[in-house]
């Protein structure tokens, strides 16, 4: 059984990633830890609970984490995910914040890693603030993590949030720096350009949402806002190439739950730019190994798209 902690800023693609994990055989989600990002951390907690409710899995604990980055401006992505992070289609019967655990997200991550040393993988589909804080509070935390699956960063100088930076890294560059430099476990990155080149055709999406289930109806509702946003001119510019649906966070999740999902990857040392006027938050791909780092991350290049489609289909069954 694969044991996971899922760290989210529960927007629409985070919801899709969570639902993939919940439907996967032999995967146990030990907790969902929430962090600022697409929307406020309070909304993120509510959204995670709504996803669990839609999947009838409210027994999975939801923990509230950092409400701001370590330094710098707090970003949000309401233009894409809706102001509430889940498409601005509220559910009057949504579980309330009293369902969130009393224990904080960072403490919970450290505790869970101590309970299962070397067995828990982290799937991080959000700004990396919680992970970095966990490493600061308990410097032995990174050593207890089995693997890290991150949606974030970019491999050329093209961002989606600033000129040169991808959203999750732009939203907390210091945290991304700490994580990429201090977690020495196998680290798998689904970076922005890769997700753009691995789009799903809209026809797939139609069939995916047309399934006659409660989960599909839930997804259809929360997804409308980002479908429109994905087809806007702004998104077409941001999305590098071609048309289609990108569920960015789902690639990191798919890699975490199925070891044969990634068909090709580059093994390269990576870091994050912290000081550039236009490049703050941009991922540094150290192909020439000038940073003298031993640890290499696996940057996804090619994945099994048929498996991806099957996981997405199963997630709404
Ligand atoms: C990332 O930013 C967020 O808006 C998405 O949920 C994803 O994690 C893509 O850059
Ligand atoms: Ca996300």
- When pLDDT is averaged across residues 99-120 and rounded to a whole number, the result is 98
In whole angstroms, what is the distance from residue 182 CA to residue 274 CA? Answer: 16
Q: What is the pLDDT of residue 145?
A: 98
- What sign results for the dihedral spanned by CA atoms 168, 189, 149, 232? positive
Residue 261 Cα, ligand 1 centroid: separation in angstroms? 20
Q: What is the pLDDT of residue 66?
A: 99
Quote the DSSP letter at residue 200: B
Ligand sitting nearest the alpha carbon of 161: 1
253 to 64, 82, 149, 201, 263: CA distances (angstroms): 20, 22, 7, 20, 15
What is the C-alpha separation between 154 and 191, in angstroms, rounded?
5
pLDDT of amino acid 237: 74
Q: How remote is the CA of residue 124 from the centroid of ligand 2, in Å?
A: 8
What pLDDT score was predicted for residue 270? 98
**191: closest CA among 306, 298, 101, 295?**
298
pLDDT in tens, 158-213: 899 999 999 999 999 999 999 999 999 999 999 999 999 999 999 999 999 999 99
Q: What pLDDT is stored for residue 241 in this prediction? A: 62
Categorize the per-residue pLDDT at 238 as very low, low, confident or very high, splitting at 50, 70 and 90.
confident
Percent of the chain with pLDDT strictly greater than 90: 94
Q: Which residues contact 55 (CB under 8 A, 6 or more apart)?
A: 18, 19, 22, 23, 215
**Per residue in 66-93, pLDDT tens?**
999 999 999 999 999 999 999 999 999 9
pLDDT of residue 14: 98
CB 143 within 8 A of CB 191: no
For the record, the structure tokens of 152 come out as: 């974030």
Q: Is residue 160 within 6 Å of ligand 1 at its C-beta?
A: yes
For helices 129-137 and 105-115, angle between their N-to-C axes, nearest 10 degrees: 60
34-44 pLDDT, tens digit per residue, is 999 999 999 99
**CA dist list (Å): 287 to 155, 174, 276, 296:** 11, 21, 20, 10
- 212 is annotated as an active-site residue: no
If one residue of 191, 248, 253 were mutated to test the ligand 1 pocket, choosing by the most ligand atoms within 8 A of its CB, it would be 248
Q: pLDDT by residue (tens digit) across 123-162?
A: 999 999 999 999 999 999 999 999 999 999 999 988 999 9
The ligand with the least distance to the CA atom of 230 is 1
CB 184 within 8 A of CB 176: no
Of 147, 131, 183, the closest CA to residue 257 belongs to 147
φ/ψ region of 288 (left if φ > 0, alpha if ψ in -120 to 50, else beta) reads alpha
Angle CA(172)–CA(198)–CA(28) in degrees, nearest 5?
65
ipTM score assigned to the predicted complex: 0.98
Question: Would you tell me how many other CB atoms lie within 10 Å of the CB of residue 259?
Answer: 9
Q: What local confidence, expressed as pLDDT, does residue 240 receive?
A: 65
Q: Any residues with CB less than 8 A from the CB of 279 and at least 6 apart, and which?
A: 157, 163, 164, 165, 273
Ligand 1 near 167 CB (within 6 A): yes
Task: Give the pair of three-digit tokens for residue 213.
Answer: 């289930």
pLDDT in tens, 291-304: 999 999 999 999 99
Retrieve residue 258's tokens. Answer: 């199925």
Task: State the average pLDDT for the chain.
Answer: 96
DSSP state for residue 245 in the 8-state scheme? B
pLDDT value of position 52: 98
Q: Nearest-CA neighbor of 67 among 100, 113, 93?
A: 100
Whole-number Å distance, alpha carbon 199 to ligand 1 midpoint, is 14
For residue 77, give the ligand 1 atom closest to its CA.
4
The average pLDDT across 100-107 equals 99
């Amino acid at each position: 059984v694969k044991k996971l902690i899922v760290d989210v800023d529960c927007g629409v693609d985070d919801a899709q990633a969570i639902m993939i994990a919940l439907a996967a055989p032999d995967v146990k989600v030990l907790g969902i830890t929430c962090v600022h990002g697409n929307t406020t951390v309070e909304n993120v907690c509510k959204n995670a609970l709504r996803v669990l409710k839609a999947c009838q899995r409210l027994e999975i604990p939801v923990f509230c984490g950092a409400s701001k980055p370590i330094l710098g401006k707090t970003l949000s992505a309401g233009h894409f995910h809706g102001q509430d992070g889940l498409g601005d289609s509220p559910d009057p019967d949504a579980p309330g914040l009293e369902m969130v655990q009393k224990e904080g997200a960072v403490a919970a991550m450290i505790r869970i890693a101590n309970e299962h040393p070397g067995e828990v993988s982290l799937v991080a589909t959000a700004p990396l603030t919680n992970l970095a804080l966990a490493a600061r509070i308990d410097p032995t935390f990174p050593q207890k993590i089995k693997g890290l699956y991150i949606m974030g960063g970019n491999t050329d100088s093209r961002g989606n949030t600033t000129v040169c930076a991808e959203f999750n890294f732009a939203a907390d560059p210091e945290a991304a720096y700490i994580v990429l430099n201090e977690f020495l476990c196998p680290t798998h990155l689904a970076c922005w350009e890769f997700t753009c080149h691995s789009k799903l055709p809209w026809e797939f999406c139609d069939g995916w949402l047309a399934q006659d289930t409660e989960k599909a109806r839930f997804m259809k509702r929360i997804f409308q806002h980002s479908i429109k946003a994905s087809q806007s001119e702004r998104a077409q510019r941001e999305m590098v190439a071609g048309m289609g649906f990108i569920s960015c966070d789902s690639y990191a999740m798919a890699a975490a739950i199925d070891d044969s999902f990634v068909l090709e990857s580059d093994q390269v040392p990576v870091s994050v730019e912290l000081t550039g006027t236009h490049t703050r938050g941009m991922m540094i791909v150290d192909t020439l190994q000038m940073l003298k780092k031993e640890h290499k991350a696996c940057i996804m290049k090619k994945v099994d798209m048929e498996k991806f489609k099957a996981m997405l289909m199963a997630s709404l069954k």
